[in-house]
Amino acid sequence: MKRPVAFIAGTGRGIPARIMTNHDFAALGLETSHEWIVERTGIVQRHIATDAETTCSMAATAARTAMSRAGVQPGEIDAIILSTATADRLLPSTAVDLQAELGATRAAAFDLSAACSGWIYAMTVAEGLMQSGVIETALVVGSEKMSSIVDWQDRSTCVLFGDGAGAVILKRNEAHSTRGILSAFMRSDGTLAELLWRPSGGAKAPFSQAVLDDRSSYVRMAGRGTFRHAVRSMSEACDRALDGARLRGDDIDILIPHQANVRIIEATAKYANIPMSKVYVNVDRYGNTSSASIPIALDEAIESGRVKGGTTALLVAFGAGFTWGSMVVRF
């Protein structure tokens, strides 16, 4: 096992106060029910941002808590990597807005696009920058205003998602430390891009009246196909991260999976031979917050004492692309 180059020094989350329950969909005229949503997904409620709450503002709330817990000042941050599928605008990045908001004057700031796996990708990139000696301290954020890109007329997708942000301060380790990222794995398959996508609104099919009329700038998903690939890919990702850390499922104290659907989580845990008692689940309260879901769950798990010094955690994600990834972290 390699010496861990980077460790998590602090975590935080930024969650909109407004809650939308499954019952609230009736007011939108959608033919759905609390029972259907809970049975298929495990989701009971999700947080929905107001117009004033942005991907940047949620990220800033999460970042400030993470920085304060890590004892890191804005001027000490060398890189801000913000994973998002819901950038506040297309140019420049939301990461530079976050940099300006925090006053992190010497940071290199950029967005990373890997959908729900984005935060795992961003952590792996930050660790690599530490390994190569380019940076010492990184702010790694997943922030998503999914409510701005889902089709509120499409019951098969809009019930699944929620808004929020999670952040960590990642720091380069002192020599001989045994805490930190023990292994990481990333993979993609772009041949499956159209199973979960926004067909229009980018440079290839820019916004137009036709795009607005056919609602093709909103998220579209083939639910069954996505489900199948999610289980297969997250299972592979668990294996690969465990192999990389020379560990087995039994050695893991807590599994923190991407929170998309409790049935996907249960199938992944079963495959990895990790009992549900060791799995962190909050999809019931947040829905799918895309790349924010793992750092939000990690922050809650630390706050509640389920993750503490000595804990070995397996983090695993899957998302549009398709992309998938995982890491083992010792705290």
Would you state the structure tokens that stand for residue 103, as one six-digit string? 């006053």
Q: Which of 155, 171, 240, 330 binds ligand ACO (CB under 6 A)?
A: 155
Burial (CB count <10 Å: 0-12, 13-18, 19+), residue 133? exposed
Residue of 322, 55, 43, 317 lying closest to 197 (CA atoms): 322
Q: Which of 6, 8, 112, 116 binds ligand ACO (CB under 6 A)?
A: 116
CB–CB of 320/115 below 8 Å? yes
What pairing do the DSSP bridges indicate for beta strands 254-257 and 312-319? Answer: parallel
Find the part of the chain contacting ligand ACO (CB under 6 A) among 34-42, 56-64, 65-73, 170-178.
Answer: 34-42
Q: What is the 8-class DSSP label of residue 252?
A: -
Per DSSP, the three-state class of 308 is coil
Alpha-carbon distance 225 to 196, whole Å?
9
Q: Is 258 a catalytic residue?
A: yes
Output phi, psi for 117, to 5 deg.
-85, 0
Find the part of the chain contacting ligand ACO (CB under 6 A) among 100-108, 151-159, 270-278, 303-311.
Answer: 151-159
Binding mask 193-232 for ligand ACO (x = CB under 6 A): ---x------------------------x-xx-xx--x--
Least Å distance between CB 228 and ligand ACO? Answer: 9
Would you state the structure tokens that stand for residue 223, as one six-digit string? 């639910």
Least Å distance between CB 230 and ligand ACO? Answer: 5
CB–CB of 167/81 below 8 Å? no
Residues between 278 and 307 that touch ligand ACO (CB under 6 A): 288, 290
In angstroms, the Cα distances linking 130 to 110, 137, 153, 172, 316 are: 16, 8, 44, 6, 22
Nearer to ligand ACO, 7 or 318 (CB): 318
Q: Which of 9, 19, 24, 36 binds ligand ACO (CB under 6 A)?
A: 36
Q: Which of 16, 74, 295, 319 binds ligand ACO (CB under 6 A)?
A: 319
Q: Is 116 a catalytic residue?
A: yes
Give the binding-site size for ligand ACO (rule: CB under 6 A).
25
- Answer yes or no whether residue 176 interacts with ligand ACO by CB under 6 A: no
Alpha-carbon distance 282 to 256, whole Å?
10
Alpha-carbon distance 280 to 302, whole Å?
11
CB–CB of 168/138 below 8 Å? no
Least Å distance between CB 162 and ligand ACO? Answer: 11
Q: Which of 56, 116, 158, 238 is catalytic?
A: 116
Binding mask 43-82 for ligand ACO (x = CB under 6 A): ----------------------------------------
Burial (CB count <10 Å: 0-12, 13-18, 19+), residue 285? middle
Amino acid at the residue 28: L
Find the part of the chain contacting ligand ACO (CB under 6 A) among 29-37, 198-206, 271-279, 307-315.
Answer: 29-37
Least Å distance between CB 278 and ligand ACO? Answer: 21
Applying CB under 6 A, which residues contact ligand ACO? 32, 36-37, 40-41, 115-116, 155-156, 159, 196, 221, 223-224, 226-227, 230, 260-261, 264, 288, 290, 318-320
Q: Which residues are catalytic?
A: 116, 258, 288
